[in-house]
Amino acid sequence: MAEFDRKSKVDESTQPVNRKYNKSSLFGGIAMGILFILTMIVLAVCLSEVFPSDPVFPWWQEKLVYRTLIESFQDSDGDGVGDLAGITSRLYYLKELGVGTIWLSNMFLIKDEPQERGTFSYNKDQIAAVNFTEIDPIFGTADNLTHLSEQASLEGMLLAMDLNPLWTSTSNTWFNASRNSQENFIDFYIWSQNNSQGLIEDYNWEFDDIRNQFYLTKSYPDVAVLNFSSKSVVNKLKEVFRYWMTLGVKAFNIGPIHEYSMNLFTEKSCLMEEINGCFGRVLGGKELISYLHENDVIVFGLWEVNDRDVPIPTLTLDGALDFSVNTIAREYFGYHYLGNAVIQALVSWVDIAQSSKMLWMMGNENHGRIVSHTGRQRAITNYVLDLVLPGGPAIYYGEELGLRNNENTASKIEYSRTPMLWTAYANANFSISEPWLPVHGDYNETCIAVQLEDPDSYLNTFKKILELRQDYSGGNQYFTAVLDGFIAFSRYKFYVKDAILVLVNFSYRTLYIDMETYSLEYATVGVVKLSSQSSQYPEGKEISLKNIQLEPNGLLILQYYPATSGEGVSNN
């Protein structure tokens, strides 16, 4: 019966029907339709003014960029050294943390022989490729990297990696070809008949017995500087980047930005044709970046903020970089550094960053862990600054745990490179064998597994800060108050009625603040979203903005609704 009913309806709809239309009704219907469309257009325009669509922000502003050393994150094969497969096994943690980009340390071959268990070592000044397109076997294989990229993509994360193309090892086949004056490699490096040209610090001339000329070096005799003025060099480097792109890498850190624009030579004669490469790095760098952009790849570089008057770094490549990673020098936030100096530096950085593409980072492998320089309380306070600094947040692995430098290592350069702390089991569950560097002695208290169980732990506090940062990503921020040792700033969520107020006490005395005197659109109360452990204000408590107590090195984050919005603050 059902089939019959369906067939009857179909048959009926296909029968020709003669209808006579009233012209006035027809034109009236058309007119009404046009009027309806125009009304919708006007309404859409009006609504777009009141409720504009959310702006689209770059991926590096949306989520956390997580910097990790491959050798120190997770060992998967029991040789005591972290590897690519180990990182893949820990993707669940990175996703839960809120990571959007995994930024890997360099993994290409940097020594004549592959590194083995017990011989692995690291020298930040001597990272020069023996082969740009060969993964050091101690880290894994090309298949391991491809698998990591694929699995990370499934979890909504991208891969970035270090690849500084400015120099190579003298064991590189390119250098051997150049020293023997082989075709297409003659001008691959910067050669000179003599060593009379003055050079800036860290650059030197080294004599080569085979070519009977001097070649330019960086820090060590076996680190030879490439000649970016050579078209052959740039084309060869394009092949290098293309290789890593095929393995799933979506972004590259091309190293210190200032290296691309500095004049390596102290004499004007460097402009003569007999010496190549003076300013070729800028032109060659731009061509490389342009090539990578054509392939939808992100390019960024490094800039250390150690002077608040330093010019905007991306100008060194005329803004060609997608963004720069700015490491804030630790001296600004050390125990001895007073609040007013921090505030002055902070305001200057914000002014610089407003027109730049920046990503902010505090600790790193070269300058040590932030907690060792500031203490845990001030370190947490410092990370809150990501809420106000324009751009995106980045973190060095283990910083979310509040790790300190591990001084039980052979050298200072290794203090901040020790293994990640996963559980309270042997070797912090980093490896079943003795790790290449010793784990922290307090790993049974500071490891991830233990901290996740404590709602007030450093890790969980960091996660709350990051959630706030992401909730208000791209929001408008401005300084509400800048006083002696104290700073307050507001950040508005785009097109949402609420805002957050961040209060930071950089001094070593208790402060009593009347925020009502700073207007805040006539708001009088706020709800505590986050506070220091020693604070008297628990999370979720509604407090008056009239008399706020802020302990030394204290932090308080409040959610408030401007009174003009007609909303009140609630604990729900």
pLDDT score for 320: 66
pLDDT score for 15: 40
**Most confident of the following: 34-43, 194-203, 232-241, 534-543:** 232-241
Q: Which are the contacts of 312, defined by CB distance < 8 A and separation ≥ 6?
A: 352, 355, 356
- 291-295, 405-409, 435-439: least confidently modelled range: 405-409
Where does the pLDDT of residue 156 fall: very low under 50, low under 70, confident under 90, or very high at 90 and above?
A: very high
HEC string for 435-496: CCCCCCCCHHHHCHHHHHCCCCCHHHHHHHHHHHHHHCCCCEEEEEEEECCEEEEEEECCCC
* Strands 99-104 and 158-162, bridge-based pairing: parallel
Tokens of 283: 């032109």
Amino acid in the structure at residue 244:
W
What CA–CA distances, in Å, run from 421 to 94, 125, 154, 445? 14, 27, 25, 10
> For 247-282, what is each residue's pLDDT tens digit?
999 999 988 777 776 666 654 443 333 344 444 567
Query: Which has more confidence, 214 or 3?
Result: 214
* Strands 220-225 and 167-169, bridge-based pairing: antiparallel
Q: Which domains does the chain have, with CATH numbers?
A: 63-162+322-471 (3.20.20.80), 476-565 (2.60.40.1180)
* Strands 358-361 and 323-328, bridge-based pairing: parallel
Backbone angles phi, psi at 6, to 5 degrees: -65, -45
> Which residue, among 135, 84, 103, has the nearest Cα to 253 in the 3D structure?
103
Say yes or no to pLDDT of 197 above 90: no
- The Cα 440–Cα 54 span in angstroms is 44
Burial 314-345 (b: 16+ CB within 10 A, else e): bebbeebbbbbbbbbbbebbeeebebbbbbeb
> For 61-113, what is each residue's pLDDT tens digit?
678 899 999 999 999 999 999 999 999 999 999 999 999 999 999 999 887 66
> pTM surpassing 0.85?
no
pLDDT score for 557: 92
Tokens of 386: 């990501």
pLDDT score for 413: 75
488, 491, 497, 498: CA torsion to nearest 10:
-50
Where does the pLDDT of residue 319 fall: very low under 50, low under 70, confident under 90, or very high at 90 and above?
A: low
Say yes or no to pLDDT of 152 above 90: yes
> Which residue, among 476, 428, 464, 446, has the nearest Cα to 540 in the 3D structure?
464
